[in-house]
Amino acid sequence: MSLADRLVVDRRSAGAASAWLERRALSLAALGTAAVLVVVLYLPVGLVFVEALLEDGSPTLGHVAEVVTDPFYFGVLADVFAEPLAIGDHLGALVGWLGGISIAVTLASPVPGLDLPVPWLAVDLPPVRKGLFGFTAYQAALSTVASVAIGLPAAYILANYEFRGRRTLRSLTILPFVLPGIMVAVGFYAMFGRTGTLNTLLGAVGLGPFAFVETSPLAIVILAHAFYNAPLVARLTVSAWESVDARTVETARSLGASPRRAFRDVVVPQLVPAVLTGALLTFIFTFMTFPIVLALGGLQLATVEVWIYDRVQRLAYGEAASLAILETVLSLGLTYAYLRYESARAGLSQAPSPPPREALFPDVRTALSPRRLAILGYGLVALVLFVGPLASLVVGSFTDGSGFTLRNYAFLLERQLEGASFQTRPVPAIRNSLLFGLATLAVAVPMGVVISVLTVRAGRSGRLVDTLAMLPLAVSGVVFGIGLLQGLVFGIPLPGGWRFQVTGAVAIVAAHAVAAYPFVTRNVSPLLATLDPAMVESARALGASRTRALLDVELPLVASGIVAGAAFAFAVSIGEFSSTVILASGSEHYTMPVAVERYLGRRSGPAIAMGTLLLAVTAASFVVVDRVGGRYEL
Amino acid sequence: MKRRALLGAIGSGSALGIAGCLTRDDGGDEEGDGTLTVVTYESMIDTEDSAGPWLKERFEDEFDAELEWEQLPDGGINHYVQRADRDAGIDADVYLGLNVDDLVRVDDQLEDGALFRELDDDRLERADRVRDEFALGDPHGRTLTYDMGYISLVYDETEVAEPASLEALTEPEYEDALLAQNAQKADSGQAFLLWTIDAFGEDGYLDYWQRLEDNGVRVLDGWSESYSGAYMEGERSMVVSYSTDQVYANRFDYDFSRHQVAFPDDQGYANPEGMAIFEGAGDADLAYDFFDFVLSSEAQAEIATRNVQYPAVADEHVDLDEEFDEYAHTPEEMVSFGYDDLQGNLDGWVEDWAQEFAGQ
């Protein structure tokens, strides 16, 4: 063979290899995703869940049955679960309850501190024992309503108006997402406490002080949940709004639809999936809320997760796992119901051509229009609710008993320069957080995309897989942590004295990716579902492999979803605490939230300074991430 | 380019999934290798002015050995109970920071007297310096107390008067005044709960807490949330906290009117902290040396001043500086539950109490 011939053969076999790889890329990626999920999610969680279903080695439903028939957990429903067939009794109890309702017209003064009598329809419901699950669902539902109500106006403004700093503001909506629970609690007290920032400001104009936190602990907890989740709803909705095809609106208008009608019939249907996704995620997160309810509200507002934590502390895994399984079943059930709805709506569209943005305050006259004033009012609310706690936190990091101080930052600097090897230093924490964030991005984005691609057109079985893919969000954080500890840190014993262990940076990134990929999937799937399958089919008919069609046709069309999901993936990684602290234990792999927790001593100053650093680093990275990502969006 | 990045990422993803790591237990530390691994909570080593770095430096100088600090993992004692239960191996030699309830937990989950060695007092020179009343009361003799703290009330004298008794806290004067912590999670919360059980008995404490609840007590998550969060932002006028509060107020220039310490009924709940040697410790001699070192006058004073805890040894064996004498307050009478009181009772007491509040 001549040299030239050999080169041709080589090139051909290289070409064949890459073609082989390209043909199978999707299957390989799916395999990789499955492997990560098995090792870092199914195995650890399964290890704990199985405790609920075993009693001395034999299968049982005893633990679960005990939980669902306990009135402490399920309130009045416990009786129904205990004797499901005694329908007559249950109906009798219901009728008795209905009979106890009384309605009366009275006068009430609903505004606290203002003696303004208003006719009021007093509905007196006999008390119902909600139980721990009932209360948990109740506060989650209220939190979801509040988060959507507060998040939607933000989305509307960010998507429809142009103003200085809009892009930066849009980037910064991620900030609450990464803040450790203790920082949110301290921030809320620093803002809304009796001697907090808000009362200080109001006092300057002769008002107050008001007992914002004391008046209704439930309301403050719901606001704290909205602090976390309204930005989530807003982000999801903004990215949907920006991919609305403005030409469809123009068509509707040219056919005689009023602006209101065009909005209702053309724009709203394209936003609903994003809003509902936000609501679903908010409900699931707040259903499994843990530190924040007790930090701000108190033990009366305890949720299921609080009891799971307690049972794990007592090493009562059977009960902890039963509670966790019920949480998961409920969350996945809701997810499935939502996905059915989402797929039923999937229509065909659309090359995104976002509607043009109006200037927010072009001139004084427009600025005084009712709509602009409403936006201004909302801005004020957002300023108090979102900027307030964050700013109060930053101020707190510069304050001690004597007023302004740099002591807390001096501590960070000193620790960085002189800290011993066994101590936590700020710079490695920052570096680790950023590296893990980038690595998470690189792993979670393909994972999420692969799951979207495989499930979007697979009908009912796809929906099932898609539902299961949400598992990371639907599993109790406490249980996930214990599973990681027992499964990956302690290791699985193998014959011959070997142990299978996964720890260190690899385990941390994998755990972060597992927590993060559902955000990618939920951002990408709805967009992928609306693509016209004919486009992929034409590409395939013209000889493109499935992978090539995905890369060249589908992904560019859903780029905005990928970018939105990637931003969340990065944020999830930066903010993750509970599994990081377990996997980083005894190593140099600590992150910023872990450092915050470790600096928390009898004085919170150093921890708050570290929290401020966390905020600054995250804010800077997101401005960068969104700028870079923004190039791919349009 | 983008495609390659995607494929690369997919590749690294799958590599991550299968790149587990197989390890084999090599039988732990060698005997007498001159290194002592001590596991302890974070405020001993990682917060401002922690005593940990000082202890390490001095111990290493004095004994020509190496001391390695290991940060207590998230689960606390449970982490080691589970390790022992699953034969996952324990690298540490010494546990610094044991509470009585930790020992009860160990014995409940493993077996009586498990996890730590019974201490041989003959190998310790300074064990008899420890005050008898600070002993954890372990029937298996596994621990030695090295410091302790009192739980008390901290209040704002411009808003409320000093409460004379626990009973007084249920009176209108203290309506919506008190912040406490969740006994399921926080040491300070559990200590206060046990104090009320000591005062009102097993049959009476729930009734007392019912009256506290009617009077508006708020039970927050942990000490940091209730103290650094709620109390320091003026939310309420009284909080369950430590009797060394004024030491911090003095160091960081806070106004003392909001940092008054009260001992209702002239009592405070005492939380002694102990140290113990793991069963599988490699170098027990060095561990005994460490215990003697920790009980030395100098180390006792350093721990007390830096961690702001009380020394475990009798007065003649420790010299504290004036700051401590002036600002760290001691109750006339200490309340404390030992091992025997807690065993078989603690979980039930806490559960009954927590159910009074939650899930209604």
H helical segments located in A38-74: 43-53, 62-68, 71-74
Higher pLDDT, B59 or A498: B59
Fill in the DSSP letter of residue A487: I
Q: What is the DSSP string of A321-350?
A: HHHHHHHHHHHHHHHHHHHHHHHHH-----
Taking an 8 Å cut-off on Cβ atoms, the answer to whether B47 and A494 are in contact is no
| A602 chain-B contacts, CB cut-off 8 A | 43, 47, 242, 248, 308
Taking each helix axis as running N to C, give the angle between helix A426-456 and helix A559-575, from 0 to 180 degrees, rounded to the nearest 10: 140
Put simply, whether B164 touches A (Cβ < 8 Å) is: no
Distance CA A333, CA A116 (A): 45
Q: Coil, strand, or helix at residue B296?
A: coil
Please identify, in words, the CATH class of the domain defined by A41-75+130-633.
mainly alpha
Report whether B34 contacts A593 (CB < 8 A). no
Residue type at A622 in one-letter notation: F
Q: pLDDT tens-digit profile of B268-297?
A: 999 999 999 999 998 899 999 999 999 999
Taking an 8 Å cut-off on Cβ atoms, the answer to whether A306 and B242 are in contact is no
Rounded to the nearest angstrom, the minimum Cα separation between B190 and chain A is 13
User: For chain B, where are the E strands, in sequence order?
Assistant: 21-24, 35-40, 66-71, 94-98, 144-155, 178-181, 218-220, 238-242, 260-262, 267-277, 310-311, 333-335
Taking an 8 Å cut-off on Cβ atoms, the answer to whether A214 and B235 are in contact is yes
- Tokens 């990045």: give the residue: B5
Is 90 exceeded by the pLDDT of residue B9?
no
Long-range Cβ contact pairs of A405-414 (< 8 A, separation 24 or more): A405/A605, A407/A605, A407/B252, A408/A605, A408/A606, A408/A608, A408/A609, A409/A609, A411/A599, A411/A605, A411/A606, A411/A609, A411/B48, A412/A606, A412/A609, A412/A610, A412/A613
Is 80 exceeded by the pLDDT of residue B8?
no
Rounded to the nearest angstrom, the minimum Cα separation between A198 and chain B is 11
Fill in the DSSP letter of residue B170: G
Distance CA A367, CA A373 (A): 7
For residue B2, what pLDDT is reported?
A: 42
Cβ neighbours of residue A153 closer than 8 Å, sequence gap 6 or more: A375, A378
H helical segments located in B178-332: 187-214, 223-224, 245-251, 284-294, 297-307, 322-327
| A307 chain-B contacts, CB cut-off 8 A | 358
From residue B233, give the alpha-carbon distance in Å to each of A188, B189, B223: 10, 20, 14
| A310 chain-B contacts, CB cut-off 8 A | 184-185, 354
Rounded to the nearest angstrom, the minimum Cα separation between A168 and chain B is 26
Distance CA A602, CA B245 (A): 9
Report whether B52 contacts B22 (CB < 8 A). no
Structure-token pair, residue A35: 């492997």
Beta strand B267-277 with B310-311: parallel, antiparallel or unpaired? Answer: unpaired
Using 50, 70 and 90 to split pLDDT, how confident is the model at B29?
very low
User: For A3-101, where are the E strands, in sequence order?
Assistant: 54-55, 58-59
* Partner residue opposite A298 with nearest CB, options B70, B185, B218: B218
| A491 chain-B contacts, CB cut-off 8 A | 23, 88
Distance CA A415, CA A417 (A): 6
Put simply, whether B27 touches A (Cβ < 8 Å) is: no
- CA–chain centroid gap for A296, Å, is 20
For residue A14, what pLDDT is reported?
A: 65
Distance CA B112, CA A488 (A): 29
Residue in chain A lying closest to B67 (CA): A422
Rounded to the nearest angstrom, the minimum Cα separation between B300 and chain A is 19
What's the whole-number average pLDDT of chain A?
Answer: 87
Distance CA A252, CA A248 (A): 6
Taking an 8 Å cut-off on Cβ atoms, the answer to whether A33 and B308 are in contact is no
Taking each helix axis as running N to C, give the angle between helix A43-53 and helix A317-345, from 0 to 180 degrees, rounded to the nearest 10: 120
Residue in chain A lying closest to B216 (CA): A214
| B359 chain-A contacts, CB cut-off 8 A | 72-73, 75, 130-132, 135, 302
Structure-token pair, residue A219: 């309301």
Mutation for A interface: B59, B71, B213, most A CBs within 10 A: B71
Put simply, whether A95 touches B (Cβ < 8 Å) is: no
* Partner residue opposite A601 with nearest CB, options B6, B47, B253: B47
Phi-psi region of B152 (alpha: psi -120 to 50; beta: other; left: phi over 0): beta
Residue in chain B lying closest to A129 (CA): B360
Mutation for B interface: A139, A294, A409, most B CBs within 10 A: A294
Domain ranges of chain B: 35-149+270-337, 151-268+342-357
Taking each helix axis as running N to C, give the angle between helix A388-397 and helix A605-633, from 0 to 180 degrees, rounded to the nearest 10: 130
- Tokens 């002993």: give the residue: B135
Distance CA A556, CA A128 (A): 53
| A402 chain-B contacts, CB cut-off 8 A | 252-253
Q: For domain B35-149+270-337, give the fold.
A: D-Maltodextrin-Binding Protein; domain 2 (3.40.190)
Residue in chain B lying closest to A138 (CA): B359
Q: For domain B151-268+342-357, give the fold.
A: D-Maltodextrin-Binding Protein; domain 2 (3.40.190)
Taking an 8 Å cut-off on Cβ atoms, the answer to whether B176 and A214 are in contact is yes
Q: pLDDT tens-digit profile of A305-317?
A: 999 999 998 889 9
| Nearest residue to A613 (alpha-carbon basis) of A441, A399, A432, A397 | A397
Cβ within 8 Å of B, A 333-392: none
- Per-residue pLDDT, averaged over B24-46, amounts to 76
Put simply, whether A132 touches B (Cβ < 8 Å) is: yes
* Partner residue opposite A443 with nearest CB, options B13, B219, B229: B13
Structure-token pair, residue B123: 């190998």
Q: What does the buried/exposed string (b/e) look like for A328-350 if buried means 16 or more CB atoms within 10 Å of the residue's CB?
A: bebbbebbbebbeebbeebeebb
Taking an 8 Å cut-off on Cβ atoms, the answer to whether A33 and B13 are in contact is yes
Q: pLDDT tens-digit profile of A219-252?
A: 999 999 999 999 999 998 988 888 787 788 888 8
For residue A346, what pLDDT is reported?
A: 57
- CA–chain centroid gap for B246, Å, is 19
Rounded to the nearest angstrom, the minimum Cα separation between B182 and chain A is 7
From residue A99, give the alpha-carbon distance in Å to each of A86, A104, A158, B217: 20, 14, 49, 35
Cβ within 8 Å of B, A 432-451: 442-443, 445-447, 450
Report whether B155 contacts B249 (CB < 8 A). no
Q: What does the buried/exposed string (b/e) look like for B224-242 if buried means 16 or more CB atoms within 10 Å of the residue's CB?
A: bbbbbbbbbbbbbbbbbbb
Distance CA A585, CA A214 (A): 37
Put simply, whether A517 touches B (Cβ < 8 Å) is: no
Put simply, whether B284 touches A (Cβ < 8 Å) is: no
Domain ranges of chain A: 41-75+130-633, 78-124
Q: Do the domains spanning B35-149+270-337 and B151-268+342-357 agree at the CATH topology level?
A: yes
* Bond prior to A350 in cis (omega within 30° of 0): yes
H or E stretch covering A248: helix A246-254
* Partner residue opposite B219 with nearest CB, options A299, A407, A443: A299
For residue A535, what pLDDT is reported?
A: 84
Taking an 8 Å cut-off on Cβ atoms, the answer to whether A598 and B229 are in contact is no
Q: Coil, strand, or helix at residue B132?
A: helix
Higher pLDDT, B15 or B225: B225
Report whether B227 contacts B241 (CB < 8 A). yes
Residue type at A270 in one-letter notation: Q
Distance CA B272, CA B143 (A): 11
Higher pLDDT, A627 or B99: B99
Q: Other C-beta atoms within 10 Å of A238: how many?
A: 23
Report whether B335 contacts B267 (CB < 8 A). yes
Name residues of chain A where pLDDT drops below 70.
1-15, 108-117, 345-354, 629-634
Distance CA A374, CA B355 (A): 45
Cβ neighbours of residue A96 closer than 8 Å, sequence gap 6 or more: none
Residue in chain B lying closest to A439 (CA): B9
Taking an 8 Å cut-off on Cβ atoms, the answer to whether B47 and A423 are in contact is no
Distance CA A270, CA A248 (A): 11
Q: pLDDT tens-digit profile of B117-172?
A: 999 999 999 999 999 999 999 999 999 999 999 999 999 999 999 999 999 999 99
Using 50, 70 and 90 to split pLDDT, how confident is the model at B321?
confident
For residue A114, what pLDDT is reported?
A: 57
| A418 chain-B contacts, CB cut-off 8 A | none
For residue B359, what pLDDT is reported?
A: 67
- CA–chain centroid gap for A374, Å, is 28
Rounded to the nearest angstrom, the minimum Cα separation between B230 and chain A is 6
Report whether B186 contacts B285 (CB < 8 A). no
Q: Complex ipTM, two decimals?
A: 0.90
Using 50, 70 and 90 to split pLDDT, how confident is the model at B360?
low
Distance CA A504, CA A289 (A): 27
Sign of the four-CA dihedral B196, B201, B202, B207: negative
From residue A631, give the alpha-carbon distance in Å to each of A563, A628, B56, B223: 10, 6, 53, 47
Taking an 8 Å cut-off on Cβ atoms, the answer to whether B48 and A606 are in contact is yes
- Per-residue pLDDT, averaged over B69-89, amounts to 91
Distance CA B92, CA B32 (A): 14
Fill in the DSSP letter of residue B319: -
Put simply, whether B66 touches A (Cβ < 8 Å) is: no
* Bond prior to A354 in cis (omega within 30° of 0): no
What's the whole-number average pLDDT of chain B?
Answer: 89
Distance CA A572, CA B112 (A): 43
| Nearest residue to A340 (alpha-carbon basis) of A284, A285, A276, A288 | A276
Residue in chain B lying closest to A136 (CA): B359
Q: Other C-beta atoms within 10 Å of A254: how many?
A: 9
Put simply, whether B48 touches A (Cβ < 8 Å) is: yes
Taking an 8 Å cut-off on Cβ atoms, the answer to whether A193 and B235 are in contact is yes
| B86 chain-A contacts, CB cut-off 8 A | 486, 490, 493
